[in-house]
Amino acid sequence: MSDIREKVILVGYNLSPSETASLSKKDVVAFVTEVGGPTSHTAIMARSLEIPAVVGLKGIDQLFRSGAMMIVDGQAGVVILDPDERLVREYTRMRSNLREASQALESLRGKTATTRDGHRVCLGANIEMPTEDVSVLSHGADEIGLFRTEFLYLNRDDLPDEEEQFRAYRRVVEKLRPMSVTIRTLDLGGDKFSSALGMPEEVNPFLGWRAIRFCLARPDIFRVQLRAILRASAHGKVRMMYPLISDLEEVKAARAILEEVKEGLRREGRPFDEKMPVGAMIEVPSAALAAGAIARRVDFFSLGTNDLIQYSLAVDRVNERTAHLYNPFHPSVLMLIDHVVKAARAAGIGVGLCGEMAADPATAFLLIGLGLDHLSMAPLAIPQVKQVIRLTNYREARRFARRILAMESAEQIAGEVRDNHERLLARESKGRPKKKTRSDDQT
């Protein structure tokens, strides 16, 4: 990808997360792939990098030719080949309208995400790379809710040493200070692989040797990252969380290694935050159901709903054939979220959500009503979600969530969520002062 020197739309069978991470928005204006789903890591990274993308489009090799003119509509999931002048004008106008809408929300950048009845929600940004600090600040994030660290291990044949990792983490922490930065420990495996780690090919990689399982099996690699994160904590507000926790024993094992690493840093006289909060990502149904026990051993929860939905519904989120079964409004998924929030509240720890659900403005009302006080998303999504929260009444949201939890159909829930969102926006539009027209001025 490094040899691209002109503005292009990339078209291919697949783009791995590591290849996606290497794309430059300056040269790659969009991409289209034959495989993948809307919640695959490649699609998530595209949103984070603000590159329009359509994934899971069949028959690419027969449909497209090099040098062809096309329109990629990432919002609608549509690709238009050889558009006529009318369509080009229409999409140019749509792009202009989107920019105007985005600029209209810029006034919210310095404002808090506080409901009309005074309930504060913290909006975080999910980032892939240290260079995303500009996007985080320009879109008005309150914190970094998820700093993915896999970029350090991808597209290379060796492992990053402690100093390289420390410098990368410190850069983000210092650039965004006094923001809190939540660093997720290594989550390779699934659809993210590093040749330097010698990870074996697996029949079911999403159910295999990945995330915390890999780290506990390779404490030599895990310790290096923990040392780097702890050292970065001396330079600002840092939180750390373990991905894909499936039971309490994994939390205990990770904590034991962390304590060993802390003791080593103390002996060396290296500074770090002794009280750095350590959390667990709840992405597996077993962890969600055992949330009460896990909550007593961690400082916070972060619901990773992309994986939680996948594992709860037995749906491969990268497989376009099953993408229609992937449903964040499935009653079972919402019941698990509700259970985790209640367990966190009972234990007196914080709980947030950093999956793609958080980026949907229409879903924000429901998530607030379920009791989530931290929502983290791609920076680009923050202004719209903040707008919805500022239109929301917290007590109404709580009542709405209770009503939703009593429903039995995902279709019914999705309809209620969309209808509620439309009512909310209509109510705001109705209450907004009417713009003056020329005839108004003349009367």
CATH of the domain at 214: 3.20.20.60
Residue 291: the pLDDT is: 99
Domain end (from 103, 123, 153): 103
**Among residues of the chain, what percentage have pLDDT more than 70?**
91
Domain end (from 76, 103, 130): 103
- Most confident listed range (33-47, 62-76, 195-209): 62-76
- Residue 79 domain-assigned? yes
Same-domain check for residues 180 and 299? yes
Same-domain check for residues 219 and 342? yes
What does the alpha-carbon distance between residue 300 and residue 288 come to, in Å, rounded to a whole number? 13
What does the alpha-carbon distance between residue 340 and residue 351 come to, in Å, rounded to a whole number? 8
What token pair was written down for 66?
């090099």
- Residue 437 domain-assigned? no
Please report which confidence band the pLDDT of residue 316 belongs to, taking 50, 70 and 90 as the band edges: confident
Residue 265: the pLDDT is: 99
Question: Is residue 106 over pLDDT 50?
Answer: yes
What does the alpha-carbon distance between residue 193 and residue 120 come to, in Å, rounded to a whole number? 38
Same-domain check for residues 273 and 176? yes
242 residue type, one letter: Y
CATH of the domain at 73: 3.50.30.10
Same-domain check for residues 87 and 124? no
Domain end (from 103, 120, 148): 103
* Helix axes of 331-347 and 394-405: crossing angle, nearest 10 degrees: 130
Question: Is residue 48 over pLDDT 50?
Answer: yes
What does the alpha-carbon distance between residue 77 and residue 58 come to, in Å, rounded to a whole number? 13
Residue 281: the pLDDT is: 98
- Give the number of other CB atoms < 10 A from CB of residue 209: 16
Please report which confidence band the pLDDT of residue 96 belongs to, taking 50, 70 and 90 as the band edges: confident
Mean pLDDT confidence for 69-95: 90
Same-domain check for residues 58 and 169? no
Q: Which residue has the higher pLDDT, 365 or 319?
A: 365
Same-domain check for residues 86 and 226? no
**Domains in the chain: how many in total?**
2
Mean pLDDT confidence for 326-347: 98
Question: Is residue 438 over pLDDT 70?
Answer: no
What does the alpha-carbon distance between residue 221 and residue 150 come to, in Å, rounded to a whole number? 13
Residue 439: the pLDDT is: 41
Same-domain check for residues 226 and 97? no
- Categorise residue 393: left if φ over 0, alpha if ψ from -120 to 50, beta otherwise: beta
Same-domain check for residues 407 and 308? yes
Same-domain check for residues 14 and 152? no
Please report which confidence band the pLDDT of residue 158 belongs to, taking 50, 70 and 90 as the band edges: confident
- Annotated active-site residue in 122, 235, 330, 354: 354
Residue 5: the pLDDT is: 59
Element (H, E) at 433: none
Residue 339 is a catalytic residue: no
Please report which confidence band the pLDDT of residue 3 belongs to, taking 50, 70 and 90 as the band edges: low
Same-domain check for residues 76 and 201? no
CA 421 to chain centre: 21
- Annotated active-site residue in 41, 330, 374, 421: 41
Question: Is residue 298 over pLDDT 60?
Answer: yes
What domain range is 21 assigned to?
8-103
- Categorise residue 198: left if φ over 0, alpha if ψ from -120 to 50, beta otherwise: left
What does the alpha-carbon distance between residue 214 and residue 221 come to, in Å, rounded to a whole number? 9
Residue 122 is a catalytic residue: no
Same-domain check for residues 81 and 135? no
By the 8 A CB rule, do 150 and 189 touch?
no
406 residue type, one letter: A
Q: How many CA atoms lie within 13 A of 117 on its CB side?
A: 8
Q: Which residue has the higher pLDDT, 36 or 286?
A: 286
Residue 244: the pLDDT is: 96
Same-domain check for residues 277 and 298? yes
Residue 442: the pLDDT is: 39
Question: Is residue 100 over pLDDT 70?
Answer: yes
Mean pLDDT confidence for 28-54: 83
